């Protein structure tokens, strides 16, 4: 394997985690792991609730669909497995 002079990725802004129920998931991330919620938005354009959290320099985003009858599984399938929502 050849060493690269310039890495192809400069950094990662955040990682998104698709969850069934944000309200049920939040205590684990905030109380157990120590994340702080820095944004909580309902984005109609992607039909999802997005909760951004931070721990030090790391950011994690919880994502759940808000459309009636949508589960995280069908939501992920709809966006072809990609959780890039912005």
Residue of 15, 37, 26 whose CA lies nearest to 83: 15
**Which helix (DSSP H) or strand (DSSP E) does residue 26 occupy?**
helix 22-27
pLDDT at 55: 96
What is the mean pLDDT of each successive set of 10 residues along the chain, which is 86 residues long? 74 88 95 97 89 95 82 56 45
Under CATH, which architecture does the 15-78 domain have?
Roll (3.10)
Q: How far apart are CA 72 and CA 3, in angstroms?
A: 39
pLDDT at 56: 94
Q: How far apart are CA 37 and CA 51, in angstroms?
A: 7
For the chain, domain boundaries: 15-78
pLDDT at 72: 60
């Amino acid at each position: 394997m050849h060493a690269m002079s310039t890495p192809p990725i400069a950094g990662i802004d955040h990682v998104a985690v698709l969850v069934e129920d944000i309200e049920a998931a939040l205590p684990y991330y905030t109380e157990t792991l120590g994340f702080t919620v820095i944004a909580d938005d309902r984005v109609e354009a992607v039909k999802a609730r997005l909760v951004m959290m931070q721990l030090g320099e790391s950011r994690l985003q919880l994502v759940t669909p808000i459309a009636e009858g949508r589960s995280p599984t069908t939501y992920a399938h709809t966006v072809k497995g990609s959780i890039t929502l912005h």
